Amino acid sequence: MTSLTRRNLLAGSAAGAAALAASPALAAAPIAGKQAPSIYRYKIGSYELTALYDGTWFRKIDDKFVKNASGAEVDKALADAFLTPGIVPTSFTALLVNTGSKLILIDAGTAGQLGPTTGMMTGALAAAGVEPKAIDTILISHFHPDHINGIKDKDGNKVFPNAEIQVPAPEWAYWMNDATMSAAPEGARPQFLNVRRIFRDIAGETKRFESGKEVAPGITSVAAYGHTPGHTAFAIASGNQSMMVLGDVTNHPWLFARHPQWQGVFDTDGAMAAETRKRMLDRVAADKMLVQGYHFPFPASGYIAKTASGYEVAPVMWQPM
């Protein structure tokens, strides 16, 4: 309490009164009360990439969250990662690629439609000095709400009015098929309806791509099916550098990279998702390739190390450009 003593002493003296009048230092400092807009820039060749944090969904889980692991096993994995059992903090980080001539956004965030702790991407973009209307292209990895909701606000207006939207063709074929929707379990129905909410009136202008194609300069679509039928990763190459944007190849890495065989309730085909996960993570681990994961802790990029039982994410070290 020494400083309070000093403050009291100052306040009781002529010097203290002058200091009080002259300086804001002795006024109570306001509490900001909210997280700062969160962006992180790095380079791949001549491309400038910006990770844009959209927020975190504190997902309450039950013992069915992982189909092939018990609730106790999942809770132990959370505790091992210094997280609270029963809650998976699922963060969302979109990636902006500036090629020098084009601004390409990979996945669209939530536009705040997944609760009060989401929707921070608007502020992040502003902090990056980028107006939504400046985005040229949006590449979508798959059609889950946390990846596509950012295309439109809750009133149905386009958030990025000038962007061409490109989506995986097999993803479109699955989710937009009415027969598939009818045959899907009741619990999946809201996702089908949400896909229609986003895409129905922009179907004509939404471009569908196959895997293995250059969908934007230096960006290639990579089939990573299983999590959803058309789930797609993106390889980015510029100069002699490259990286892999993993999308949802693994959800929270401290669960699903450490336990790659786990099948989350969110996987359309859990066995295929686990197989894809192992194949993709083996590849980027062998190549020591920089990766980005939509649900990795911000800034959501790092390297994958293979361990005896799974994979570990080494987060990228925050640094100047």
* Residues 61-80 within binding reach of its own copies (CB under 8 A): 80
Near its own copies by CB under 8 A: residue from 16, 41, 86, 278: 41
256 touching its own copies, by CB under 8 A: no
CB 220 within 8 A of CB 81: no
Please, what is the minimum distance in Å from the beta carbon of residue 125 to its own copies? 12
Nearest distance in Å: CB 143, its own copies: 20
Work out which of 3, 157, 182, 240 binds its own copies, going by CB under 8 A: 3
| Binding piece for its own copies, criterion CB under 8 A, among 82-90, 193-201, 224-232, 233-241 | 82-90
The interface region with its own copies, picked from 141-149, 157-165, 175-183, 263-271 by CB under 8 A, is: 157-165
Q: How far apart are alpha carbons 302 and 180 in whole angstroms? A: 37
3-state secondary structure of 188: helix
Q: Which of 89, 153, 158, 242 binds its own copies (CB under 8 A)?
A: 89
**What DSSP letter does each residue of 77-124 carry, written as one string?**
HHHHTT--TTEEEEEEEEEEEE-SS-EEEES---TTTT-TTB-THHHH
H/E segment holding residue 22:
helix 14-22
Question: Is residue 179 at the binding interface for its own copies, with CB under 8 A as the rule?
Answer: no
* Site size with its own copies, rule: CB under 8 A: 76
Which positions from 223 through 252 interact with its own copies, judged by CB under 8 A?
A: none
243 touches 231 (CB < 8 A): no
> Sheet of 47-60: strands edge to edge?
39-44, 47-60, 87-98, 103-106, 137-139, 164-168, 207-209
For residues 92-131, which are near its own copies according to CB under 8 A?
98, 100-103, 117, 120, 127-131
DSSP-assigned letter for residue 293: -
Angle, helix 14-22 to helix 2-11, in steps of 10 degrees: 100
Asked if residue 35 binds its own copies (CB under 8 A), the reply is yes
d(CA 123, CA 128) in angstroms, rounded, equals 9
Told to check if 169 binds its own copies by CB under 8 A, we report no
Please pick, from the candidates 73, 81, 237, 272, the single residue that binds its own copies as defined by CB under 8 A.
81
Q: Which stretch binds its own copies (CB under 8 A): 52-60, 140-148, 167-175, 234-242?
A: 52-60
Instruction: Tell me the window of 21-29, 169-177, 259-267, 268-276 that interacts with its own copies (CB under 8 A).
Output: 21-29
51 and 40 Cβ atoms separated by less than 8 Å: yes
| CB-count exposure of residue 104 (10 Å: 0-12, 13-18, 19+) | buried
Q: Which residue stretch of 133-141, 148-156, 188-196, 226-234 sits at the interface with its own copies (rule: CB under 8 A)?
A: 133-141
d(CA 321, CA 318) in angstroms, rounded, equals 9
Binding mask 267-296 for its own copies (x = CB under 8 A): ---------------------x--------
